[in-house]
A = this chain, B = another copy of it.
Amino acid sequence: MTTTSTERGSVADAIRALVVTREFQPGDRLAEADLAARLDVSRTPVREALRQLAADGMVEHVPNKGARVVALSPAELEHVFELRARVEGTAASAAAVGATGAELDRLDELAEEIARHGLPGPDQALDRVYGCNADFHLLLAESSRSSVIAASVRQLFHTAATVRTYQGFDEASVRRSVAHHREIVAALRARDGEWARSTMHSHLANARAALLGPRPVAHSHDTVDAPRDDGADDPAPTRPPS
């Protein structure tokens, strides 16, 4: 059932997978000995991976107290989407210049796979969308030909690893999202960086709205500081008291 060994994949990836599959939920402690036993390695590589994940923002590390899966508040999720829009928009713009033909072909494949597994139909499999979506966004970042951009995208993407793609999306949001992936590749093929950037902005605004609901209106007299989160059936991402 669970992959019983690390199998040449890094320990950090294995732990990320455990978080993505909700085996560890936001706020859960990540005990080193426990992870070491699960992944069938010693505590040493586990500790290294946890430090790495902590720097990535997926895990919170407190000295002498261990690591926990980060629990993002709705306000912080808003920030994740804002930063992703800006950073991945830049990535898309740079990828319009730098992407190779092979990368564009692979992005096409991934966009189609996301469509197959995301849209209603015989092949729908929402639990398989997360991986394809991750591959799409991270490959796009690589296509920017900039290690700096790629690292920033990776960090932000992994920070939101607990947000499962398309889970809780309404169908219209899913259709828009699927269309965005295809359109981004079209923009890249046209070598139009601004087209790619703005489509990426739309893509992430759509995801934000599907997960978090309408944006809070600053000068309204109700719910000034608390963004809505209807539409998302995630467990309330309340931050554990530090």
Whether A192 sits at the interface, judged by CB under 8 Å, is no
Taking A51-B52, A90-B83 as contacts, is the C-beta distance between A159 and B149 under 8 angstroms? no
A234 adjacent to chain B (CB < 8 Å): no
**Interface segment out of the listed A72-80, A103-111, A208-216:** A72-80
> Chain A residues in contact with chain B, CB under 8 A?
44, 47-49, 51-57, 60, 70, 72, 75-76, 79-80, 82-83, 86-87, 90, 94, 144, 146-149, 151-152, 155-156, 159
Q: Are B72 and A148 in contact (CB-based, < 8 A)?
A: yes
- Interchain CB contact under 8 A, A76 and B147: yes
CA distance A151 to B57 in the complex (A): 7
CA A87 – CA B148 in complex, angstroms? 13
The reply to whether A151 and B146 contact each other, CB–CB distance below 8 Å, is: no
Flag if B87 contacts A57 (CB, 8 Å). no
